[in-house]
A and B are shown apart, each in its own frame.
Chain A
Amino acid sequence: MNSKEYKYTSEHEWICPESKNKGKVGLADYAQSQLGDIVFLDLPAPGTKVEQGKKMGEVESVKAVSDIFAPASGQVLEINQTVVDEPGLVNKDPYGAGWLVRLELSEPSELNALMDSEKYEKFVAELSEQESE
């Protein structure tokens, strides 16, 4: 269980709001488990402007390529260089050491449109059910 602070997109990105309209962004556990071993991350450079729901980067596992969508609009403040050097951290610790970027949010109210932990857990449970059918 993650802290109540985490918000999720239907594309399985998470954002954890920090003080002064900032937020840390990463991939949810479900995303990493679907992708398998992640071997490459293409993240937006600091300073890049991103828009909620629009593509901001790419993640590749041994077998698959997937887009990373911005969970909120704003500007990239920082990228997690450690995870770029060791993409497997997303698999090992998706909500912690495997975070991807830190954003400065231009529209913090956008976060209201995202799922909270409880809602997201239900969403994933439904997906897993469909998958096992």
Chain B
Amino acid sequence: MMKLVKKTPLNKVHHELRARMTDFAGWQLPVWYTSILEEHRAVRSGAGMFDVSDMGRVWITGRKSGVFLDRLLTRRARRLEVGSSQLCLLCLEDGGILDDLWAYRVGTDRYLIVWNAGDIEQKLGWLQRWAGSEADIVIQDKSADTVMVAVQGPAVCQLQNLKDVSHLPRFGHTQTRIEGVEVLAARTGYTGEDGFEIIADTANALQLWESFMKQGLKPCGLAARDSLRLEAGMLLYGQDMDKSTNPFEAGLGWLVEMDNRDFIGKSALLEIKRQGLKRKHVGFQMIGQGIARSGYKIVRCGQGVGTVTSGGYAPTLDVNIGFGYVPIELATIGTDIEIMIRNKPVAAKVVSRQFYKRGAQNEL
């Protein structure tokens, strides 16, 4: 079949800005506009903006929406107050991760989930399967009718058009207007910096984008999105975790609420916990010369012990870093490992996954 590539409502803008485009999870998206390093640094030191419309946006409403989500998600949705949000996982019955997503409680019986661009049909099918014919659960994928822009960086609260939402607490969200455009603004992001993620109707996509361009925000592409999240120790679905990974080995056990509740995958996760972990997702820093990339082998004393899941250059720290799975006995911080880079073992060591922390001294 012919490969169809979806375009976000801002596709034309990216071309006008002469961005280098790429295909990512079925979407045509900008990789970078002027320079990955410039874009990365803009977000760390000032502010940058991203078209993140590839992320799926699904509204789940109805009297039983909360009960439904409590059953599907690894954290209780009903414990969220209206106007707040949380990161959680969608697990399969065997405990494998189907996706990681943000759940926003937009009303008493009204939730919004924002998940990754990949496998949308399969994930929607999963929701529908568990919702069944229940009339009090309405699932609406509004990804095509909306646009999503992330505005990230320490300077975001000084932006004129975000003054009205600067009071929002971390992970808080509200329905508001930005220069006349009706939006849902949330204090969330995927860069390790302060920032907002803003959802509006597709019809207002250009107006929203322009209002930030006028404020002098630097447009940033997928590559900076990737290097920023990696530095901040955030996992990428499809690389750092997938259906064959469980939340505990992925180091995401903090997203799983086990006590006094039932949810899909719970019994499998209890068993996984009882048996103990065999491998663990860790951060590493390159000691030798070279950049680790997703898929490279991790070795020790000539033996293959694991695989790199994400890797690259960390612009803020000026070192090469990565994530990968290693046997549990090698997961201790400080352990020496090697990464096979084009058939040569290159020295690396296990370090904390949070390579960069906002406001900290940030020296590895």
Contacts and interface: CB of A to CB of B under 8 A. Distances in A.
Contact of B37 (A40, A60, A62, A65): A62
Given A62-B227, A62-B312, A63-B223, A40 B291 contact: yes
Contacts of A65: 291, 293
Interface string B7-37: 0000000000000100000000001100111
A97 B293 CA distance: 28
Contacts of A40: 289-291, 313, 320
A121 interface: no
Given A37-B36, A39-B313, A60 B20 contact: no
Interface string A39-81: 1101000000000000000101111010000000000000000
A60 B291 CA distance: 8
A108 interface: no
B37 A37 contact: yes
B3 interface: no
B22 to A, nearest CB: 9
Contacts, number: 38
Interface in B315-338: 315, 320
Contacts of A62: 36-37, 40, 223, 227, 312-313, 315
Contacts of B312: 62
Q: Which of A40, A63, A65 has the most CB of B within 10 A?
A: A63
A39 B40 CA distance: 14
B342 interface: yes
B230 to A, nearest CB: 11
Nearest to A131: B20
A63 B31 contact: yes
Contact of A36 (B36, B291, B293, B315): B36
A60 B32 CA distance: 16
A88 B313 CA distance: 13
B173 to A, nearest CB: 32
Contacts of A88: 37
Contacts of B293: 65
B220 to A, nearest CB: 12
A51 to B, nearest CB: 18
Nearest to A39: B313
Contacts of A63: 31-32, 36, 223
Nearest to A33: B20
Contacts of B320: 40
Contacts of A39: 291, 313
A36 B342 contact: no
Contacts of B315: 62
Contact of B35 (A37, A42, A58, A60): A37
Contacts of B290: 40, 42
Nearest to A65: B293
Interface string B303-317: 000000000110100
Nearest to A87: B313
A39 B227 CA distance: 13
Contacts of A61: 36
B289 A36 contact: no
Given A40-B291, A62-B36, 7 more contacts: A37-B37, A39-B291, A42-B289, A61-B36, A62-B37, A62-B227, A88-B37
6 contacts: A40-B290, A40-B320, A60-B313, A63-B31, A63-B36, A65-B291
Closest 7 CB pairs of A and B: A62-B36, A39-B313, A37-B37, A63-B223, A37-B36, A60-B291, A37-B35
